[in-house]
Amino acid sequence: MSNLLGILINGIAQLEYDRDRPLPDHQAVYLEKMDEKMKQGIEFGNEIIENPDINQRAQFVAANLLNALQTGNEEMSAALCTWLANRLPDLKQVKYDENGEEVSIDLVFDEDYGKQAAVTFSKLN
């Protein structure tokens, strides 16, 4: 069983989180602050959810992670990925499928993430 969490957009790995690496104290404190802030309520679309449960928080964090990835915000991407990995220890993959203006988010708990490898093609003469 893998302890990796994979974050994929249209099947291509964007981030990998290794749960076997210890979480530094300052990052654990940051995750606690995120939890406290989300307890006060989260905005999902036009709806405000007060004291969201873990599933609502996970969907909120996953949606914000996609935005962070798309805008190149590496620090926020890392923090949000860390939250998902630590708060949902059985989560194996977050899959985003973009189709034009529509995006689906799938939190995968039953399919281990397998590392992807880049393949280089050589031009034949």
Q: What is the pLDDT of residues 94-119, one digit of tens each?
A: 999 998 888 999 999 999 898 766 55
What is the rounded CA–CA span in Å between residue 42 and residue 56?
A: 9
Q: What is the pLDDT of residues 25-45, one digit of tens each?
A: 999 999 999 999 999 999 977
Q: Identity (one letter) of the amino acid at 78?
A: A
Give me the residue spans of the domains in the chain.
4-108
pLDDT given at position 119: 58
Query: Strand 4-9 relative to strand 12-18: parallel, antiparallel, unpaired?
Result: antiparallel
Q: Identity (one letter) of the amino acid at 72?
A: G
What's the predicted TM-score (pTM) here?
0.86
